[in-house]
Every structure is written in structure tokens, then in C-alpha cells.
Structure 1
């Protein structure tokens, strides 16, 4: 796992500190950091819940500001992992995606559209 991926997990745990134990347990169970598993199973359910409740606006804004930063980084591995986990999951539910788009920056929106196209979804 590269430095940018490590930073991503550190920042996500700062946003969602209640997920620290699940993160550690995942590493213990699998013997390593399985990036897609951690993002899909640990972080994304909470982000989806935050979006569906649409209450903690400040946290959502901070998370999606960070997602825009990630979307603009030069680390191809992190952008790929981010696209096939975070962005594909957001695209699984059109209502959730519409809520998320309120917080997304332009590069994140572009990558989300590309992720949907990569899955053959209609945009």
C-alpha cells in the first residue's frame, strides 16, 4: 500500500473515528489492509447513512472536500481504488448519488461519471 493510500485511510478514520476498531479487526482477520474491503465494508456504509440522513452537513462537506482532493491527486492506484469503491457504491443508488452530488467537486463528479460508464450504467 502506497503513502497516498495510507494517508487516505488515516484521514477517513479521522472523519469516522468510530470505525477504528473495525479497521483494526479487518487487518487482523485478513492479515493485511485489503483496501477495497475496508472502504466498501467499513467506511461506505457510514457515508451512505450520513447522506441518507443528510443531517451532519459539516462532516459531509469535509468528507467530500477530501474526496475532491483525492480525485485530483496524481496517485493512479488511489484514484483507481477510490473509483471502484467509493464512486461505484455511490452510483448504486440514484437517490444517494443525487444527495452526494450536492457535495461533490467537479473532478469527483467527473470520476463518478467515468465509474458509472465503466460499469455500463446509463448516466
Structure 2
């Protein structure tokens, strides 16, 4: 696994410590760390839940501040193969969730999310 991807997963575990058992089970079940499977199946449902319930704003602010940091990093693999195809595409799956997320997004994250949507043929 690439170092930046490893750091990303570690940060997500810091944001959502209650997911550590599911994280470990995923690794056991697949025999390795599958970044996108873990992000899509474990972390994104937690983020979507926070956004849909509009609660724990401090945690959401911290998460999206970190997403802005990721969006501005120079690691193409992390941005293109992990972050954009999991986090940003999933946020764009539901208009209401996306609007809630946009309240927390920084400019670079918002730009990457629009690019992810366009890449999927979604025009907003």
C-alpha cells in the first residue's frame, strides 16, 4: 500500500475509532488492505450518516479540513485512485448529501468533487 493511502486510512480510523473492528475484519476477509473497499464500505457510511443527520459539526469540520489537505497534496495515486473514486463520487450520489457536504468543503475539494461528477457524466 502506498504511504499516503496508509496515512489516509489511519486518519479515517482516528475520526471513526468505532470502525476499527470492521477495518480489521475487512483486512482478514480480503487478506490485504483494499483501500477503496474499506473507504466505501466502512468510512463513507459514517460520513454520510453524519451529513444526513446534520450532527457533530466539529467532527465534520475536521474531516473536511483533512479532505482539503488531501485535495491539495501532490500524491496523484491518493487523489485520483482513492479519494476521487471513493469519497468524492459517493458524496455526489445524493444531491441532499452533496449540498450538506459542500458546506464543509474547501475550494480544492469542491473542484475535485465537480471533476469526479463530470467524470461520471453527472452535470450539476
Task: Place the TM-score, normalised by the shorter chain, in its bin.
Answer: over 0.9
* Pairs within 5 Å for 1:66-105: 66-80=66-80, 81-105=82-106
2:14 is aligned with 1:19: no
> Unmatched 5+ residue regions in structure 2?
none
- Matched residue SS, 1:32: coil
Distance in 1, matches of 2:123 and 2:112, equals 15
TM-score normalized by structure 2?
Answer: 0.98
Runs of 4+ in 1 over 3 A off after TM superposition: none
What displacement does 1:102 show?
0.1
Paired residues in the alignment total 123
Aligned to 2:41: 41
Distance in 2, matches of 1:113 and 1:49, equals 21
What displacement does 1:46 show?
0.5
Q: Give CA deviations for 1:29-52 in whole Å, capped at 9, x if unaligned.
A: 000011110000000000000001
What displacement does 1:122 show?
1.2
TM-score normalized by structure 1?
Answer: 0.99
What displacement does 1:75 show?
0.6
What displacement does 1:7 show?
0.5
Aligned to 1:106: 107
Aligned to 1:6: 6
Q: Give CA deviations for 1:52-105 in whole Å, capped at 9, x if unaligned.
A: 111100000000000000000111110011000000000000000000000000
* RMSD of Structure 2 on Structure 1 (CA): 0.5
